[in-house]
Structure 1
């Protein structure tokens, strides 16, 4: 029987350091490990994620379990993917100590998130509706988000903590100085918005960058209905358009898009990539196929 009160079921600063010491775990910059030490911040993230009891949640980079416990406290079915084998082994023990009644709702996977597939993340892959809630490793946050959206068709929304600069890029609109390939590729799947700032003092060790929350909802009536080959071609156009940011579309997409395709799509080739919406890139790709047919 769990005798802990609600207030001490989650991990505070002293708990995090104690568990790390016991397990011989030392946070590494290489893996982007900064552990949340404030229960209030954890509950705020869970609340903003809008998760409900019985909901399937994928957590990438659970670390020492701060957010994992918060998600389990909310009644979620959590699949936690941790690249660090020591942390992956320790996580079930932490849950058993703090919230034993929730242990059967936790599945731990020891893999690089960029290699995850619905088959490897069995519990997360089979559910009809999946939510990603995570404090993502800042150095690979954008590739993780885009990879999971591409592979998990059931991933309908997410709330993630990332570096503030990354949050700015992911949620930027056309014309913004930070608008670019990540902004457009995420827009292919749905709509992203910023959901708040996170102070540096809630982490151990404290990062040297500011953090922010990004909320996302997949657009079921958007471009995700397109086949995978179409997405790959559209993303290739985006990458080329931003490969040399100051070039016009005519110059950046030379050899990829013909003058006839620009005309058919109704897009001025003297424009630059940062003025384009995801719908316009999709239209340009479609016109290119039709012209070449």
Structure 2
């Protein structure tokens, strides 16, 4: 099997009359060493079924196919989606039957849109402009995903993997932590892409775990997270006033959760946010006479 290099990528793009667009966040990987590294770091097993978002011209797809039972490539561009099976048939014919191409927007794809065999891993070079929403959407809608290895903008990688107290800790950090243990898995330079982006990239690894134990729903917890970081400079008492109805109500929820109302959102763990949401849910139920 042969992987795609810079010459093959450009020949293929010219053949298809494709020019990478910022609108779709397209930066094609042209370095075989990089795709091999991604596959290695992903920790895949022969029985895995990988969902790859935005396979583009197929650089990463070709490296994934020999390592797993199947690859579900979700591609929004109909020209690229039609070409991918042809590229695999040319460069890796012995693995062509492991590929399934789904023409869809990854932000909207649901289990019913995918093959019956559920994906166990997400490995992808994600478009910079939608990387966080795509990951969170797939974590929410594809519960079979147990592990993730994504390549994203370095700044996004830092935010996803940030711990409480970090300057870049925020909404993506907390929401990703709801689903998984998250870590930075290495840097990626600009020269491995065509066209070369104006920013560096990074690898992020996630391993799914159970969410915090709470009677609050995920939506209720995420509403607290959104409110807490909407005005980062404000104390939690002030930032959560609108969410709780009043500042005193926010303070009650915070104190009941064992959190100082003068703290700020970047100091809290996902478990802290769950406790805040849980108290408010219980209090609202009591006020309405449900509890």
1:98 paired with 2:91, answer yes
Alignment of 1:113-128 (within 5 A): 113-123=106-116, 126-127=117-118
1:233 paired with 2:220, answer yes
Counterpart for residue 256 of structure 1: 243
1:167 paired with 2:157, answer yes
Alignment of 1:39-50 (within 5 A): 39-50=32-43
Alignment of 1:1-293 (within 5 A): 6=1, 9-123=2-116, 126-127=117-118, 130-220=120-210, 222-223=211-212, 230-257=217-244, 258=249, 259-292=251-284, 293=286
- TM-score (structure 2 length as normaliser): 0.93
Are the counterparts in 2 of residues 195 and 214 from structure 1 also a CA contact under 8 Å?
A: yes
Counterpart for residue 3 of structure 1: none
Does the residue aligned with 1:256 lie in a helix, a strand or coil? helix
Does the residue aligned with 1:89 lie in a helix, a strand or coil? helix
Does the residue aligned with 2:217 lie in a helix, a strand or coil? helix
Does the residue aligned with 2:111 lie in a helix, a strand or coil? coil
Deviation at 1:52, TM superposition (A): 2.0
Deviation at 1:177, TM superposition (A): 0.8
Q: 2:69 & 2:150 partners in 1: Cα distance?
A: 16
Q: 1:256 & 1:86 partners in 2: Cα distance?
A: 45
Are the counterparts in 1 of residues 50 and 68 from structure 2 also a CA contact under 8 Å?
A: no
Deviation at 1:76, TM superposition (A): 3.6
Deviation at 1:234, TM superposition (A): 0.7
The C-alpha deviation readout for 1:209-235, integer Å capped at 9, x for no partner, is: 100000000113x33x768x7110111
Q: 1:101 & 1:107 partners in 2: Cα distance?
A: 14
Divergent runs of 4+, >4 A:
none
Give ranges in structure 2 of 5+ residues lacking alignment: 287-291
Deviation at 1:101, TM superposition (A): 1.5
Deviation at 1:161, TM superposition (A): 0.1
